[in-house]
């Protein structure tokens, strides 16, 4: 009996030994513990994030642990949830503070000042910066900057952009410094930087759709493409509230003239970028929407009380901050009723009120105090005329830092070798000012702390580590401007087109054997028009027997247009309004609207219908009063080529014009957008009146 019982006993003992080993090597069972180490850490969050963007495959059991929110597959939202779990378990705020204090304690004053600067290197010694020049790499290895801002000159292809950002991070990491915040202005619509990226329809177009989920989806695509090329900060969204037709310097970059709609969509945009692990920077605090002056070329002034700002301009900022925005960009705009401090302008010799960027009242009291923002404050570019023309560079920097700003954006022109030396002098002199007390050292330390905390949360507090660049480059090429992203863009854009006039049911175009003329304002719009007709043909929505002709009227006089158009049943004409003065044909003789007047008159004379495609500021929907139908599509960006014919990747293109033309023929769908802004009637002199022609929220459908 003893002999027969020995085998089960030995097996039991063996199992007793092996089971712990097996358990130790098993894949995770704890939700969020993706790497199976028995605890939920920030490393797990990175695993989930990389898997959600297709850069890493997980085993079935890892997938189960990664789906902490129960979604079909791991997502960026799961990664954030895991990160929050890991912070709660092992990295409380005190741990972050401790790490940042440790880094700051080892920094010289010059290093702190450098950590507060974000330079640009869009061109260098006359050449676009596609690869990192040695001279710039050496500068970056000497100074640990907050980050770098990239422009269109830096972002030619996805693979090239990734290699550039990687080389910048490697140059910065040579001294063991925290990683860089690499930023760009990829707002969508008219302001985009990635040359092969998915453009999306733009903010005012998204305002016309009025759907926060679509805005979040659009921002998510933008964010995922930025992340894939190594850009971790998007200087977006614009959450300025348009002040009206006469004060629309930001134009279609803004969502709306309604603060509530702007707040809702701005918050959704922030969440979309966060879904892709990209930091959003709200702009332009405390509001650039109610001025007709561009701060690139002048110093705008908004004469409003603080109570008025709280009811309008500040509403979207407050909402987006509550939604988790990590960065805010300031505006170089004067608010004389709020900021009473002045500076003697080097341009005029007069004492002028400090703009918001340099105002402690605005930055510390309002933004940080009243709105409770604890994140990073970045200036708009310090080389813009609003600041550069009136303030000495070091004075402007000192005022900004003392006001509570964290990052000085583009304070020095670094487009030549001499500019690099000027930046070094700038850092040294600003550090001396901090050591001497004219720049408050406690403000410097607080700013650096906030920057480092953001870097900690972005996984940048430790020096950049080289990655499998070839794998990432292939993934970036596949993601940026992908067919899937462009199809998402197309479906979103179709929901943004607004129709405000349709006399006699001019649209949709459904009759057979119609002669159709499509008038482009500029050559790059012709491929966009052809693309729309091509999609209609492919989907069987172009009426049989349709004869379609294309004409660019840029180099055609008003008197020549009629003969060029000839007989036509339908004329679709692109209009583009940038400034109100252009609406008057007597002021801009031979201009766009004089030509459109002639085209409209000729079309009706031959018995045709005239369809206006308003493709930039929507206020010209009140201009061509005789048009049979008016479609508003919010952007005039064209195409360099038909994307269906591109063989070596597609350059970024505007989906708005094609979507408007497509919907003019789509009887089963049609326009569904609603105006996000009020459109006033025009006076007899073609000025904006106080009477509204179309109210916000208006839109027709079939």
140 and 147 Cβ atoms separated by less than 8 Å: no
Report the half-sphere exposure of 83 (CA within 13 A, side-chain side): 19
Q: Which of 37, 88, 296, 505 is catalytic?
A: 296
Closest alpha carbon to 665 in 516, 558, 557, 475:
516
The angle, 0 to 180 degrees and rounded to 10, between the axes of the packed helices 656-665 and 526-538 is 40
Would you call 48 exposed, middle or buried from its count of C-beta atoms within 10 A (0-12, 13-18, 19+)?
buried
Residue 577, classed as helix, strand or coil, is coil
Does residue 257 have an active-site annotation?
Answer: no
Does residue 296 have an active-site annotation?
Answer: yes
User: What is d(CA 35, CA 46) in angstroms, rounded to the nearest whole number?
Assistant: 10
User: What is d(CA 191, CA 188) in angstroms, rounded to the nearest whole number?
Assistant: 6
Distances (CA, A) of 184 to 133, 147, 577: 20, 11, 26
Closest alpha carbon to 649 in 9, 198, 218:
198
b/e per residue 559-588 (b: at least 16 CB within 10 A): eebeebbeebbbbbbbbbbeebebbbbeee
Distances (CA, A) of 515 to 250, 601, 624, 672: 38, 17, 22, 26
**Structure tokens belonging to residue 275:** 């879904």
**Structure tokens belonging to residue 621:** 């929907």
Tokens 């369809």 sit at which residue? 611
- Phi, psi dihedral angles at 184 (to 5 degrees): -160, 170
Bridge partners, residue 517, by sequence: 549, 571
User: What is d(CA 590, CA 553) in angstroms, rounded to the nearest whole number?
Assistant: 11
Q: Which of 234, 240, 258, 380 is catalytic?
A: 380
> In this structure, how many other beta carbons lie within 10 angstroms of the beta carbon of residue 600?
22
Phi-psi label, residue 163: left if phi above 0, alpha if psi -120 to 50, beta otherwise: alpha
Closest alpha carbon to 280 in 291, 294, 268, 290:
268
Q: Which residues are known to be catalytic?
A: 296, 380
């Amino acid at each position: 009996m003893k002999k027969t019982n020995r085998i089960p006993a030995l097996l039991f003992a063996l199992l007793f030994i092996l089971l712990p080993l097996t358990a130790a090597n098993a894949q995770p069972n704890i939700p969020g513990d993706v790497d199976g180490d028995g605890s939920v850490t920030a490393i797990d969050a990175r695993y989930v994030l990389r898997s959600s963007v297709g850069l890493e495959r997980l085993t079935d059991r890892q997938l189960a642990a990664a789906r902490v929110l129960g979604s079909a597959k791991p997502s960026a939202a799961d990664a954030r949830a895991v990160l929050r779990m890991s912070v709660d378990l092992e990295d409380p705020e005190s741990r972050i503070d401790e790490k940042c204090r440790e880094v700051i304690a080892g920094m010289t004053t010059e290093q702190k000042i450098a950590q507060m600067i974000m330079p640009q290197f869009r061109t260098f010694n006359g050449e676009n910066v596609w690869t990192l020049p040695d001279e710039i790499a050496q500068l970056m290895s000497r100074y640990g900057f907050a980050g770098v801002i990239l422009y269109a000159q830096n972002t030619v292809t996805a693979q090239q952009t990734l290699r550039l950002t990687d080389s910048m991070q490697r140059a910065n990491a040579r001294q063991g410094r925290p990683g860089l915040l690499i930023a760009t202005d990829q707002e969508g619509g008219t302001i985009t930087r990635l040359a092969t990226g998915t453009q999306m329809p733009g903010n005012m177009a998204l305002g016309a759709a009025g759907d926060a989920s679509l805005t979040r989806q659009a921002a998510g695509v933008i964010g995922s493409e930025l992340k894939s090329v190594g850009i971790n900060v998007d200087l977006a969204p614009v959450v300025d509230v348009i002040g009206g037709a006469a004060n629309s310097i930001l134009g279609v970059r803004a969502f709306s003239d309604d603060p509530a709609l702007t707040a809702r969509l701005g918050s959704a945009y922030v969440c979309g970028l966060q879904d892709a692990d990209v930091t959003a920077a709200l702009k332009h605090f405390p509001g650039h929407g109610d001025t007709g002056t561009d701060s690139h070329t002048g110093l705008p002034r908004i004469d409003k009380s603080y109570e008025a700002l709280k009811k309008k301009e500040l509403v979207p900022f407050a909402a987006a901050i509550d939604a988790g925005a990590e960065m805010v960009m300031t505006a170089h705009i004067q608010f004389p009723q709020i900021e009473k401090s002045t500076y003697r302008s080097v341009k005029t010799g007069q004492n002028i009120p400090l703009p918001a960027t340099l105002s402690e009242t605005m930055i510390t009291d309002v933004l940080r105090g009243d709105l409770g923002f604890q994140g990073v404050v970045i200036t708009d570019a310090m080389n813009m005329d609003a600041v550069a023309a009136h303030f000495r560079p070091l004075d402007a920097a000192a005022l900004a830092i003392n006001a509570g700003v964290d990052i000085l954006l583009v304070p020095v022109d670094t487009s030549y070798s001499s500019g690099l030396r000027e930046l070094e002098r700038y850092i040294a002199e600003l550090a001396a000012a901090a050591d001497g007390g004219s720049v408050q050292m406690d403000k410097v330390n607080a700013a650096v702390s906030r920057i480092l905390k953001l870097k900690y949360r972005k996984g940048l507090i430790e020096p950049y580590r080289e990655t499998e660049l070839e794998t990432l480059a292939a993934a970036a090429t596949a993601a940026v401007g992908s067919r899937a992203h462009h199809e998402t863009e197309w479906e979103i854009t179709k929901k943004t087109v607004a129709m405000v006039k349709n006399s006699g049911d001019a649209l949709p175009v459904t009759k057979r054997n119609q002669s159709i003329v499509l008038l482009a304002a500029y050559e790059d719009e012709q491929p966009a028009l052809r693309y729309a007709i091509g999609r209609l043909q492919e989907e069987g929505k172009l009426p049989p027997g349709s004869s379609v002709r294309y004409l660019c009227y840029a180099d055609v006089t008003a008197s020549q247009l009629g003969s060029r158009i000839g007989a036509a049943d339908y004329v679709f004409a692109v209009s583009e309004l940038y400034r109100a003065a252009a609406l008057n044909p007597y002021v801009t003789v031979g201009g766009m609207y004089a030509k459109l007047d002639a085209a409209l008159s000729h079309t009706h004379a031959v018995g045709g219908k005239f369809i206006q495609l308003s493709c930039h500021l929507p206020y010209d929907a009140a201009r061509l009063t005789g048009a049979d139908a008016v479609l508003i599509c919010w952007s005039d960006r064209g195409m360099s080529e038909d994307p269906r014919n591109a063989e070596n990747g597609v350059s970024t293109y505007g989906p708005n014009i094609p979507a408007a033309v497509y919907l003019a023929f789509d009887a089963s769908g049609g326009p569904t957008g609603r105006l996000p802004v009020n459109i006033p009637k025009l006076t007899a002199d073609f000025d904006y009146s106080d009477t509204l022609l179309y109210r916000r929220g208006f839109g027709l459908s079939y």
